[in-house]
Structure 1
């Protein structure tokens, strides 16, 4: 994305109209084990039916367009204690001006120290490598090698400053390049074929702004280009839910990772504390992981009025919805099959690591939802739960008692909760 995201960006940042393309509290008794089973809708969780590996949740820091996170805000973003988001991915820009590289170090280094993966995306190559054409600005064809070295130089700079990059992108949103560098799908394939093999960290491409398969299909269909990319990255601005599945990636992307590297949802105009609208974030994450089979979910600016962290450094309602996943579905967890949509406007996803199972349930209805859970091949246990609703943020809730893998729960209206089964 770009600095056009909202109307409150810093002075001097260009503003675009891309939105035109988009249409801790006390224990609460929210999960009632005594709901009559006959009135409840069945939800089956299948730990043996393993889907994709989850690699993390996080957001963007861009210190040229907005101010850096403070030391306290870094802890809130990447720590996993009470009142913290539990993020495990940080995205930073590859500035075309090397004099700005050092600005990204402090937050990236602390995020890395706290265990986060750090990735980087360029908006523009150095000006000396670009040229104008009828579609705007592009990387000169005879500068591809120099550009690959530019990406390597940034990778080395960050490593020398205590930040080992997990991956680096070829280009942020090459198909929405009104005020940054444009690439066609064939140009990205050419760069991957001829130059990406020299890049010293994982390569991310194409980062289409709307998960347009016309940008990524050519990579998957070219064996040489595919061999030189490690992560298929995508943004989900205005992407219809029906376009989230990617059969070609499932067919040809073996050994590659699938990352959602940027979004804000549903908009950048509402306060992130507006409820129940913030609950849309919970559904969006569910759909990205379940329908899209993404391995990461990465927000745009971490700290913003519409982001997971408010400008005062506190977690917002949107942030709480993200944290219901991020705090308990840690890197290396696997998504497992669960009844994804047991009732209209109710969404359930499940994950496991070893013997631990995490269930995240979203109820967008104006009335409670009664669900009868069965976790296959699971015994008896007492499981803690956490709730976010109109009146609670990541609040510890009533434990549920699981008997031979079964429990029944009444989920409050307009809420999201996480159940952790050990």
Structure 2
């Protein structure tokens, strides 16, 4: 095996590595994997090394428990055991939210947890109602849909077949608290329940929702403000966390930019290859069959090296140019020469670039890496992307 031939364009492939556990030297383990690539002629200047956030956070031993979450929300919202807490717009996920909810309920074992869900789906597309349900029962967008309105034959998630309302009710009741779950798309509706504190649990819309709630209830925080300080913490708080063993959650990695920089510096120093590095999470992929938007992390990239920051991928629309030039009578040789010239010098606001909306380089590469690595048993936590940075990057 050797260097990929020049006729291959952008490519991405996974690198198998050993098992990473808390305390592993993830920088050195990634470096050793890249040494093998170099020895086989498969590492080049301009490659992007994509390291999944999960192995970085695991190596950092960045875990919190359900009790940690309960203690944090108690302190930050000044709760008592019999307090009434609101939870607004959580996503529907056993992996992403079930243990968080358990921690929130554990903080008020003699109180009540009021959960407001959006409909017909959460913010990442997990469906909780048929799309026309609210209209069929005469409910407007800002009105409450109760569990009684839903009846006994409740809608189940189209993929997992989970009844998330029942699941979330059970989690709350297991901690001793009362559960009150309803559906409404107006974020301020939850403030009508005379709550002692509110946790905004949405991912991408959290600041907008928090602003709406603070208009009437000042004692409110987002998930990003829980578990964002101390030894086991992340600047993203509970955002980007995943269920782990027992009652533990793995947080997003800490100081991911620094980890990316250390990997890059070691490769430059010891292998003499100038690569860029990203620490990636969920890719920004929307499944066309289910409508589920896979980005349950706050962003696709938790950390990156400086060479990727603020960069956008853009270019000319080859299909348009070929059709236009051919219709004007240009022969194949002239078409190819024109394409080469235009790709180096073009007006990004011109018709020639129409349909090639500039997108953040980090988001595109992270999404590509996530699709290649998947989240199951591929065993390739490092993805090498080749040829991407040789395109039009500004």
With the shorter chain as reference, the TM-score category is under 0.3
Structure holding more helix per residue: 2
Larger relative contact order (CA 8 Å, sep ≥ 6): 2
- Greater strand content: 1
- State the TM-score, normalizing by the size of structure 2: 0.26
Q: What's the TM-score, normalizing by structure 1?
A: 0.25
Tell which structure's C-alpha radius of gyration is larger: 2
